[in-house]
Structure 1
Amino acid sequence: MAELLFETYGVPSVAFGVDAAFSYKYNQQHGICDKDGLAICPGFTTTHVIPFIDGEPVYKGCSRTNIGGYHVTDYLKQLLSLKYPHHMARFTWEKVEDLKMEHCYVATDYASEARLFQKGTKEAEEKTRCWQLPWVPPPVEEPPSEEEIARKAAIKERQGQRLREMAEAKRSTRINELENQLRGLEFLLQQLEQVEESEIPYFLKDTGYVSRQEIETALAKATQSLRKVKGEPKGEQAEVEEKTDEKYPLVNIPDNMLTQDQLREKRRQMFLKTTSDGRQRAKQKRVEEDLERERKNQLDEQKRLENPELYLGEMRTKYKELCEKVEQRKRLKTNGNHSNGNGMSGGVGRGERLNAAQRERMRLLTTAAFDRGKGEDNFGAKDEDWQLYKLMSKDNDDDDEGPDEDETELARVSSRLQEIDPTFVPKPESGPSQSAADMPRSRPLTKEDFQILLGVERFRCPEILFHPNLVGIDQTGLDETAGVSMRRLSSKDQVLEERLTNSILMTGGSCLYPGLSERLEAGIRMIRPCGSPIKVVRALDPVLDAWRGASLYAAAVQFPQQTFSRMDYFEKGEDWLRGYQFQYNL
């Protein structure tokens, strides 16, 4: 430092002093403290305790603790970030510094103050401070006026009318197309009647059809489509579909009376007939289920009217049994039908989970595939081959239909209980099948969501000045550091120690917390003998008194005698400066 000042910048002379000492001397001149006393300076990153005897600092008795205002601010920033993680961007260093200086205080008894906030008393609520973040309330949608409703209704009506006109035009176009197609097919059939059987393939070569049967099928489909577009009753369509003999003329003819082409056509017709019959059976089954459901509803209503309490109890019991049955079946489907010996379901392969009907269907499929690979594919040449489709069909698998029936019945019973019992709450569906309406929805943000409450943080953060172990620093606090400084003095004069404790000056920016003087006095009193005079005062201006003291010292006439000049540097060297002691008494 001396080399830089004297050789690079050409400074004529320099003097080095301690900021806490300048502040102490400045306040001594104003009668705040005595010649003998302690200067406690909690700074930005460190805290120093300097004893003064006869107005001069005793450096041998100085003590330092690596705790200061920086650690208090950082601790407050961490606590607020953990408490309000959604507003971490708001906790800048400058803002947290302002919150610290504006709201933090030192508790006289930290444990009692913490219990006060833990109990949530009224006094704790009064000590809590609130920092309101910028928040704009969401706009409130006003209900539309009658004129607006009428205007929207008129627009909707015009749009509906336009759509109806477009649909009607499309329907008319479709009807014309189908009528033209029907006339063309009928004309084509009339021409086929005049053509010999052997010339039919050549005649149909350019029409896109292969046989008369295909033309008749297309004619029937076009007729059904036309009736559907015109909105005619479905009974007429059913009558057309029931004419199976006309649609499938080769089904009932023995194979020995048919040619090879007719046999292939017969197999195709049998396949189509089987598919059509399956659809008819499914339709009939749905109708029967609807009738059965209606019959059950009527019986349930009759039972409920006869004895409501008994009926309600039976429905609740049935609902419970169905729930257990459905859950048990789901567990079996997931884990298998076998247990591991402890009553718990164990994991098994798919083959072990299949029932008898499913295993039989798998056997038929593998047998058919194995036979097909041996030679020519002649499956379907015999009438009994088509019976395998019925055996392979899942319609005959009663076990597969069981869970669907149970779940359907469970839904019906649950709906019925909701109608007759207002206190009934159905069990929620677990897993991904849960509907979006049942999912929890996030509430809109309010003014309270943008409020930062400072409660226990107000005194917890400055407490690290007395207990640095709260932030992981294993050092002494302010009160203990003052005791260490007095014990380091070579003189063990009791009277001198009393004079030191009778004039304790606090300076530095971190001593501005309310309650710090009282807490420091109580802490020092605990380490001093009973009856020792203790007086803790704060500097006139803890932040600027060090600068004011240094400026007054530099303006004194004797100040040049305390400086280290450029000539001294070249004559004595920089090492002499290390033993240089600044005299504060001029």
Structure 2
Amino acid sequence: MDHVMNLTRFPTPAPAAITSPDSYDDHRDQGTPLIIDNGSTNLRFGFASSSTPHFGPNAVAKYKERKFNIPLLLFGDAIDAESGAKSQTRTPWEGDVLLNFDALENALDYAFITLGIDTPSVDHPILMTERLSSPLHSRSLTSELMFEQYSAPSVAFCVDSVMSFYHNNLQPHKSAFDSDGIVISFNTASTSVIPILSGKGIMSHAKRIPWGGSQATEYLLKSIQLKYPNFPTRVTSTQCSWILQKFCEFSPDYPYLLRTLKHPLNLRASERVIQFPFALPVVEEKTEEELARITEKRKEQGKKLQEIAAEKRREKLIQKENDLKHLLDLKESRGQDGKREWNHTLQSEGFDDDAGLDETIRKLEAELKKARKKDEDVGDEVMEEPSFPLVDVSDADLDEEGLKEKKKQKLMKAGYDARIRAKREKERDKEEREAEEKKEEEERENDLEEWAGKLRKEQEALMNRIKDRARRKAALSDRKSALAQARMKNIATLAADDRVPKKKRKAGGEDMFGADDADWAIYRKINTAAESDEEEDMSQLQAVEQKLLAYDPTFTHQNTHASITTQRSALISAFRPLYEEGDVQGHARIHLNTERWRVCETWFSPGMAGVDSAGLGEVLQNVLASFPDSDKGRLVKNVFVTGSPSYIPGLIPRLQNTLRPILPPEMPLEIVRAADPSLDAWRGMADFAKTDEFKYVSVTKAEYEEWGGERIKRWWGGNSNSSVTV
């Protein structure tokens, strides 16, 4: 297929970088706060004095290297370096809940080693993120890990999106943080809405929906699998995550967009083509001698197969001719015996009555005629006339063996005579066909346009006949259709046929159906399978189209019946273009069009993906409804979006169209995105850890030993005031 606009190939993954641990000398015995952003996708960690953190995929794998038999503990990108380690990958998170604390411990070990910490304990205050409305036991077990395993002096927990808001709205000249706004955090497994007034998160009014980047990625993967059920390459969640970030976008007005994409040209213009890796088939080049030898071998094999098929056709033809001869002889002997003896003879031959015998003879004659027409070798064979010396000898002059041989020769003679007749019929048909072809050639040479128009009309008539037949079959399959009801009426009429008196019918009198030719017309009307001319119409249609393809330059394969019937609508063709058979490169492409917007729309309508939850617009409306207009105006004046999915284009216009109708016209609305949605949460935590307030919100080791892991300190950036989520 030539249409490859907006074609993008998957980037080649870069090899995992080998990093050496940092120097710990600058932080030794300094008590520099340690910042850990424990995200579902990425782990970001570093000292508060650093400008940027270390980060990598938050996943670990325990793997035993086979070559040297060495056990390995791999973290992040290093897992991709060992193909066998991918199946052993584990993450600390299960959805949006921190559950796998063994994996968390392994990830923290990696972080502390990378930071160069070589002391028996981690002698640094720790500020660590947690999800909005995290279960209390998750925080308790994390605190236990920090204090018992690493002997940290203090630990504090915060909500990552609030700290991202803090970093982007921090005003250095002010002594206290007092910014207002509403935070929309697009996380891996959820999306949360947190109102902030006077620099304090109102966690009691925060809401969360169970839809995030991972669910959107899986939804995109299922959409691709549904659209391409036989895709030659396995599409992974990692690839779908890249597609989501690269090609998907929010639509300001999704219903209007769908109405626009109903036009095939608009749908085609909106598509993005993704080229997956593929391998071209290796074609073995052969020498001319090898090709000639293979061609000769194929000819010999084809000749043998033709001979075998011809022999089988002859055997079947002779068998049918013998059967027909036997039945004709049986029919001729009908008047020689009484009625009882004749019925007994019919039953011994497997017939119920004379009509069954006549029908079998009629079928055999039709099959023989058809077989003789299909036998291509009859006209080409040079048949020598065999001799049948016993046919004309009287039965009285022959013994028992002679009579058997005479009967055999009579059957052979009947078969030979039938073949001679078939040969003559074929020669006559050939002469007629040649005359018709010559006449047609003269018409074509004299006026090509008129000849082509005549054949096009014939093609159209045949296609209409085939279409009407298909429509009739479809109508008959619906018992409520007018055609099906007329069929039932005809059946009822035949059942009440009065050509045979009622008393005679009850006594088992002879059924007169078929005595009149009109009966068979009725039979065709009521019999859904009686379409004997369908094969003949198709054969004739193919012959007409072959002539048009050969001589009419304006008639192409797109005009043939096969192309017209198999051609899908323009909209479906634009939705998923087809590639020719054998196009390996084309079959390894995915065409994205409506999926680009449908996947993103699920944040506002999770029901599209089968999730029973309110959408982001409804949640925002519920949160804002909890505040008076004065506070609502302070919130919507700074709508702050963060998280990696906030990079997706079109999000801010979509939120504008969602919030503007539910706000008073005079109320200002401003939506901003975090300067760096991926790292601003960590930077905000580093900013906060440098303030004097940090030590007052941290739980010290002494407080842990006194009160246990459930010890909580209420503060504006933590979970202490959160309510039950939706």
Residues 443 and 155 (structure 1 numbering): CA distance in 2 closer, same or farther, change over 3 Å? closer
Q: Deviations over 1:157-185 (max 9, x none)?
A: 9x99xxxxxxxxxxxxxxxxxxxxxxxxx
- Is 2:156 the partner of 1:15? yes
Q: CA–CA distance in 2 between the matches of 1:154 and 1:582?
A: 84
Q: Which residue of 2 aligns with 1:541?
A: 676
In structure 1, the partner of 2:609 is 471
1:140 positional shift: 8.6
- Which residue is equivalent to 1:76? 220
- In the TM superposition, what is the alpha-carbon distance from 1:418 to its structure 2 partner? 7.2
Letter in 2 for 1:267: E
CA distance 1:295–1:451, change in 2 (3 Å):
closer
| Aligned with 1:503 (options 638, 641, 646) | 638
Q: Is the 8 A contact 2:153 2:700 kept in 1?
A: yes
CA distance in 2, matches of 1:303, 1:100: 64
For 1:557 and 1:149, locate their aligned partners in 2 and report how far apart those are by CA, in whole Å: 89
CA drift at 1:154: 13
What amino acid is the match of 1:482? L
> Of 384, 405, 416, which aligns to 1:283?
416
Tell me if structure 2 keeps the 8 A contact 1:478–1:520. Answer: no
Structure 1 residue 527 corresponds to structure 2 residue 662:
yes
- In structure 2, the gaps of 5 or more residues are 1-139, 301-382, 444-457, 463-489, 496-508, 513-531, 549-579, 719-726
- CA distance in structure 1 between the aligned counterparts of 2:190 and 2:285, rounded to whole angstroms: 60
Aligned residue type for 2:257? E
Q: Which has the higher helix share?
A: 1
Give the conservation status (yes or no) of the 8 Å contact 2:194–2:205.
yes
Residue in 2 aligned with 1:451? 589
Give 2:397's aligned residue: 252
- Where 1:74 maps in the other structure, the secondary structure is helix
Q: 1:34 to 1:101 in 2, by over 3 A?
A: farther
Q: 1:480 to 1:143 in 2, by over 3 A?
A: same
Alignment length (residue pairs):
386
Q: Distance in 1 between matches of 2:547 and 2:657?
A: 66
Residue 275 of structure 2 is matched in structure 1 by 132
When residues 343 and 7 of structure 1 are mapped into structure 2, their CA distance, relative to the original with a 3 A threshold, is: same
| Aligned mates of 1:291, 1:58 — CA distance in 2 | 101
Q: CA deviation at 1:537?
A: 0.6
Which amino acid letter does the alignment assign opposite residue 593 of structure 2? G
> How big is the shift at 1:83?
0.9
The structural deviation recorded for 1:242 is 3.4
- TM-score computed with the length of structure 1 as normaliser: 0.54
Q: Deviations over 1:426-467 (max 9, x none)?
A: xxxxxxxxxxxxxxxx94336433321111111111111122
| One-letter amino acid of the structure 1 residue matched with residue 196 of structure 2 | F
Distance 1:117 1:279, change over 3 A: same
Tell me the distance in 1 between the aligned counterparts of 2:294 and 2:227: 54
Call closer, same or farther: CA 1:135–1:584 in 2, change over 3 Å: closer
Indicate how the Cα distance of structure 1 residues 292 and 353 shifts in structure 2: closer, same or farther if over 3 A, else same.
farther
Per-residue CA deviation, residues 8-67 of structure 1 (Å, 9 max, x unaligned), is 554432211111111111111269x97111111121121111111221112222122222
Distance 1:13 1:354, change over 3 A: same
Q: 1:483 to 1:443 in 2, by over 3 A?
A: closer
Find 1:568's aligned residue among 655, 679, 703.
703
- Match for 1:106 among 247, 250, 253? 250
Q: 1:292 to 1:118 in 2, by over 3 A?
A: closer
Q: Check conservation: 1:16, 1:582, Cα contact below 8 A.
A: no
For 1:516, the aligned partner's letter is L
Unaligned runs of at least 5 residues, structure 1:
161-232, 254-265, 310-315, 321-338, 345-351, 356-406, 424-441
Q: 1:469 to 1:267 in 2, by over 3 A?
A: same
- How far residue 298 of structure 1 moved from its aligned partner, in angstroms, is 7.2
Aligned ranges 1:426-437 → 2 under 5 Å: none
Summarize the Cα distance change of 1:140–1:271 in structure 2 as closer, same or farther, 3 Å threshold. same
Is 1:273 aligned to 2:406, yes or no?
yes
Distance change >3 Å, CA 89–CA 284, structure 1 → 2: closer
Q: Does 1:62 align with 2:206?
A: yes
Residue 87 of structure 1 aligns to a residue in which SS? coil
Relative to 1, partners in 2 of residues 1:251 and 1:42: Cα closer, same or farther, differing over 3 Å? Answer: same
Q: Is the 8 A contact 2:211 2:603 kept in 1?
A: yes
Greater radius of gyration (CA) = 1
> In the alignment, is the contact (CA less than 8 A) between 1:480 and 1:524 conserved in 2?
no
**In structure 2, how many angstroms separate the alpha carbons of the residues matched to 1:4 and 1:37?**
34
Q: Whole-Å Cα distance in 2 between the matches of residues 561 and 535 of structure 1? A: 34
Shift of 1:132: 1.5
Give the deviation of 1:305 after TM superposition.
11
RMSD: 5.1
Deviation at 1:92, TM superposition (A): 0.7
SS in structure 2 of the partner of residue 86 of structure 1: coil
Report whether the alignment pairs 1:95 with 2:233. Answer: no
Q: Are the aligned partners of 1:562 and 1:583 in contact in 2 as well (CA < 8 Å)?
A: no
Q: What TM-score comes out, normalization by structure 2 length?
A: 0.45
Change (3 A) 1:269 1:59: same
Structure 2 CA distance, aligned partners of 1:302 and 1:584?
97
1:44 and 1:88, CA in 2 relative to 1: closer, same or farther beyond 3 A? farther
Conserved in 2, the CA contact under 8 Å of 1:56 and 1:584? Answer: yes
Conserved? CA contact 1:106–1:459, under 8 Å? yes
Deviation at 1:582, TM superposition (A): 2.6
CA contact (8 A) 1:251 1:270 kept: no
Q: Kindly state the Cα deviation for residue 109 of structure 1 after the two structures are TM-superposed.
A: 1.2
Correspondence for 2:12: none
8 Å CA contact retained: 1:14, 1:563: yes
Residue type of the alignment partner of 1:465: W
Structure 2 residue matching 1:283: 3-state secondary structure: helix
Which of the two has greater strand per residue? 2
> How many Å separate the matches in 2 of 1:418 and 1:353?
45
My pick for the range that moved more, 542-551 or 94-103, is: 542-551
Equivalent pair of 1:479/1:523 in contact (CA under 8 Å) = yes
Query: Does residue 186 of structure 2 align to residue 42 of structure 1?
Result: yes
Distance (Å, rounded) in 1 between the aligned partners of 2:434 and 2:200: 104
Report percent identity of matched pairs.
26
Match status 1:242 vs 2:383: no
State the Cα distance separating 1:476 from its structure 2 match: 2.9
